[in-house]
Chains A and B, each alone.
Chain A
C-alpha cells in the first residue's frame, strides 16, 4: 500500500465511496422498479451527480442544514437519512421517512439537518437562509446549504436569497448542480450569463466552479467555502458541473439529448468510475475493498426494496393527522 496522496484519510474515502455507491444503486434500482409500475407518482433520479452531494456533505454535521430539490434522494443519503425510511416513503408506506405523506419529492429528516426535498423549484433558498439565520442567532456554528439545478437558478427566490444572505452575512452556500438541463431545456438557452461566478459576483458573493464529476474537486472547493461561512465570512456560491444519467423524471424519453450523449456520459463522466480509478490507481483502496463495499451496498438496497414492498400502507386515519399541532 502506497502513501495516501488524497486530502482525506482512507476511512473517509471508504465512507465517501460507500455513500456515492449507495446513491447510485438506490437510483438504478428505482429506475428498474418504477418501470415495473410499483412506485406511485414521479421520481427524479440523481444518478451521475453523486460526487456533488457527497463531496459537500462530507463537511457537514447534523447541526448543518440542507435544503434539497425535487431530485433529492442523493442529498438525503449523503446527509445521513435512513435508506429504508426513504425507500418506504417512495413506495408510499407508513414506515417511510414521512409516514408515506411526502413521497419522493418531500423526503425530510430534520433531526439529520435535512429540511426536505422540495417540489417547488428554488423554494429551498429562502428556507435555508432562515436555517442559517437560526444558526447565526444561536451562534452554534451551523451552516446552511441550498441545492438547486441550473433550471431553478433562474428563480426569483434563489436570486432574492443570494441578496438577503449577502445583506445579512448568513452562513449559506448556494450550490447549483448544473447538469445542463432544466427539465428538457438546455442551459445554453435558459441562463443568460456565461458563468455563474459572474452572477454571484453581482450579488457580492464569491463563486467557484468545479468539475462536479470529480469528488475531490467538489470536496476541496466546498471545504474552503463552508469553513469560511462557519467562521462568519458569509455566503458563497458553488457551481458543480455534472451530468444527469437519466431523464428529468422517470419515463422521460430524453429525445432532446444529442445522439450518444447518455452513452458518452456513462463511459467518460461517471463520477464513481472516476473516483475509483483515481483512488484505486493510487493504491489506497484495493479492488477487493471496492467490491466488498459494492456487495454490501447491493445488499442494503435489496433489503430496503424488499422491506418497502412488504411494509404496511398508511391506515385511513393517517389522512387527517399531522396537519395542525393543535386546532
Chain B
C-alpha cells in the first residue's frame, strides 16, 4: 500500500530514524524546536517551517538544540563537534545565511581532512532551504548549490522528492564528510510514496526520472519537475525527452549524463542558479569534454538570469526557469 509522505515529513523521518539508531547524532539550529526559554510551548515551531517538529519531544533538548541567532558560532560548533566524534546535523535555516558563516564551512569543515594529512574527519550535515517561488526576495530565495559544489571537501545534495530526500539525508548523516543538504522550500509539501523503514541512496548516482531518445535534460531539485512538465509538452510534439535528476552535485554522476547524451545527441542543462559557473555550465563543459562527438546540436543552458532574485511575483516568476522555457530550449536543440 502506498504511503504518501511530503518531503518535509520525509526529512523529519530521516532525522528521527538516525537519532534513534545513533546516539551521536544531534541536531541544532535556530528555532529548530522553537520557544527555548520562553513561557509558552516547547517545540513551538519545530523549525521555521516545521520540518523538525516533534523531535525535541522524542530526544530532548540535549539532542535537539535551539541556538542563538549566531550562525558562525553554531555552525562552527557543529563542525568542531563533528571533528570530536559527534554527528551533528545543523540547520542553516536559509542557505542564503551562509554568508555569515561560510568560513566555518569552506575554510574549516571542508579542509580539515586534507589540511591535517587525512587525520581528521568531519561528519557534519548542514541542511538548509534553497530556491525561489516563496516571494521571499533576494536574500531568502537563492540557489547557491554552485558555490558549495566548487569547494573540494564538501559534498552537496539537492533532492527533488520526498523519497530521495529521506534516503539521501540518512546517507548524509552516515557519511564521514561534511555534507551540504539543500532542501527546496517549494518541494516541502510535495508528496510521494515513501517506505517507513530506513534506507539510503548512495551519493553520485543520478536518477533517470524519465526515459527518452531524442534529447537529454540534466537538472536537479525543483527543476526536475519543470523538466518533466516540459517533457510532457514535448511528447505531444513527438520529441521524446530523457530527464536526468542529478540528486547529488558533489559527487556528480557524469557517467549517467554522458551515457544519455551518447544516446540522444542533444543536451539541455537546467539550473535554478545564476548562469555563470553554475551546475548547468559545469555539466555542459563536462559533456563537451567527454562526449563532443556524440553531439548532434549545440547544448543549451536554461538558468535564472544573472540578477538577484526579485521580490515582485511577476518578476520572480520570470526569474525562475519555466517549463515553457525548458521546452523551447529542447526544441532549439532539435533544429
Contacts and interface: CB of A to CB of B under 8 A. Distances in A.
B80 interface: yes
Interface string B12-32: 000000000000001000000
A127 B86 CA distance: 13
Interface string B63-87: 0010110101111111111111110
Nearest to A111: B119
A131 B117 contact: no
Given A126-B72, A131-B84, A323-B113, A157 B103 contact: yes
A164 B116 contact: no
Contact of A106 (B76, B104, B116, B155): B116
B113 A133 contact: no
Q: By CB atoms of chain A within 10 A, which of B116, B175, B204 has the most? A: B116
A326 interface: yes
Interface in A134-185: 134-135, 137-138, 144, 156-157, 160-161, 163-164, 167-168
Interface in A47-98: 65, 67, 96-98
B72 A160 contact: yes
Contacts of A123: 76, 103-104, 107-108
B76 A130 contact: yes
Given A98-B119, A110-B116, A325-B175, A130 B251 contact: no
Contact of B68 (A109, A130, A164, A325): A164
B181 interface: no
B178 to A, nearest CB: 10
Given A130-B79, A131-B81, A161 B116 contact: no
B72 A106 contact: no
Given A160-B72, A164-B74, A135 B84 contact: yes
B114 A323 contact: yes
Contacts of A128: 80
A297 to B, nearest CB: 26
Nearest to A119: B107
Q: By CB atoms of chain A within 10 A, which of B73, B119, B204, B251 has the most? A: B73
B248 to A, nearest CB: 10
A243 interface: no
Given A123-B107, A130-B81, A134-B85, A325 B76 contact: no
A324 interface: yes
Contact of B118 (A99, A115, A133): A99
A127 B117 contact: no
Contacts of B67: 164
Given A111-B119, A127-B77, 17 more contacts: A65-B84, A98-B116, A101-B117, A108-B120, A109-B119, A115-B80, A123-B108, A127-B76, A127-B83, A127-B108, A130-B79, A130-B82, A130-B83, A160-B73, A167-B68, A326-B176, A327-B251
Interface of B: 26, 62, 65, 67-68, 70, 72-86, 88, 103-104, 107-108, 112-121, 152-153, 155, 175-177, 203-204, 251
Interface of A: 65, 67, 96-102, 106, 108-111, 115-116, 118-120, 123, 125-131, 133-135, 137-138, 144, 156-157, 160-161, 163-164, 167-168, 321-327
21 contacts: A96-B117, A101-B117, A120-B108, A126-B80, A127-B77, A127-B108, A129-B73, A129-B80, A130-B83, A130-B86, A131-B84, A134-B81, A134-B84, A156-B72, A157-B103, A157-B104, A164-B73, A322-B117, A324-B113, A324-B155, A325-B176
The 4 closest A-B pairs by CB, nearest first: A126-B76, A130-B80, A99-B117, A127-B80
